[in-house]
Each structure stands twice: as structure tokens, then as C-alpha cells.
Amino acid sequence: MSSFNHPLNVEGFALLEVVIASAIATTIAAGSCVVLSMAIDASRHARTRTLGTILAARKIEQLRSLRWTHVSTALPALSMSSSDVTTDLSNDPATDDGSGLLRSPPGTLTSNVAGYVDYLDGNGRWAGRGPAVPAVAVYIRRWAVQPSASDVDNLLVFEVAVGTRGRDPSMLADAVHLVSMEARK
């Protein structure tokens, strides 16, 4: 008969060691997933705000590019103001059936008012206009044109708010709000 020789000093892992190592690895993996999820969410939020800022700046530049001048002459009776009162910037490209730089009606920054709102897709491309939000729209861009209280005749205030759809249709999520002023030249 043959006898088996079993050494008392066997190398390897006991079941308890394997369970503890697995628990530690699982805890680290779960913690890493939470951190990774937070990083992805922060990156998405930053992208949304950055693109919203760019879209708001574009609309401000469109508004500032509209004609709003004052020509002074030696004879005050011949001096005249010239303002764009027909451009519709809610179309892409702009058309001449809008209100240009006329005073905006109340609520253009808090609701979707025709002529003062347009919609953009996730890449910032124009997706539509009007009070109803198109299905492809990701960003809602609203603007207002108001004369400055300090100089009604010579200073305009432009405000643009850009954000994503919120739970409440009148509210913008991740909103960016830019303000600019334009003086008659």
C-alpha cells in the first residue's frame, strides 16, 4: 500500500481570506462607480452650460448687429434716428417680418413668446420657433429688448436666457442669462 504524504504547511488562501478580499474589491468598485457617475454628470452639466453661454452670446451679437443709429447734423431738425423694426431673429436665417429692436412684450424671458424665442438641438443648430417646443429641441433660447431706464432714447438693454427644458415648461433648467447694452452711434 502506498501512503499519502500531506504536509501541514499548505500554501494558498483560506475561504475567509477570499471572502474578505472580494468584499474589499466590491467596495472599491462601487465607490469608483459613484465617483465616475458624479464626474460624468459634472461633465454633462458643464457642456450644457458652456453651449448655453455660446448660444446666448450668439443671440446677443445678432441683436447688437441690427441697425440702431442716430445721425446728427448741424441743423437739429434734420437729425434723425434709424432703427431696425422689421427683422425677425427667431427665424434662421432672419427674415423681415418681425419686430427688430422694438420693445419686447412682457414675459419674453419667462415664457415662449412668438418672435422672442427659438429652439436649438443638442449641437446648437436651429430647430424651430414659436410657443410650442419642437420634439428635437434641447435648448430653449429667449430674449428681450428694452430701453434703458436711465436713457430711454439712446440706450437699449438686451437680455438672453438659454436653458434646457425644465419639469415646468415655463422654467429653464441649467439656464444661462446674459445682459448687454447698446448705445446709439
The per-residue pLDDT string of the chain (185 residues; one tens digit each, 9 = 90 and over) reads 555 666 566 676 788 888 999 999 999 998 889 899 999 999 988 999 999 999 999 999 999 999 887 666 666 665 566 788 899 999 999 999 999 999 999 999 999 999 999 999 999 999 999 999 999 999 999 999 999 999 888 899 999 999 998 777 668 888 999 999 998 86
Tell me the DSSP string of 95-123. BSSS-TTSPPPTTTTTS--TTSEEEE-TT
**pLDDT attached to residue 73:** 63
- The pLDDT of residue 173 is 84
Classify 160 in phi/psi space as left (phi over 0), alpha (psi -120 to 50) or beta: beta
| CA dist list (Å): 49 to 13, 55, 119, 168 | 52, 10, 16, 19
Q: What pLDDT is recorded for position 154?
A: 86
Residue 184 confidence (pLDDT): 82
| pTM (global) more than 0.85 | no
Q: What is the pLDDT of residue 181?
A: 95
Which amino acid, residue 180?
Answer: S
**DSSP-derived 3-state class of residue 91:** coil
Cell of residue 129, nine digits: 420657433
Contacts of 73 (CB under 8 A, 6+ apart): 79
pLDDT at 7: 59
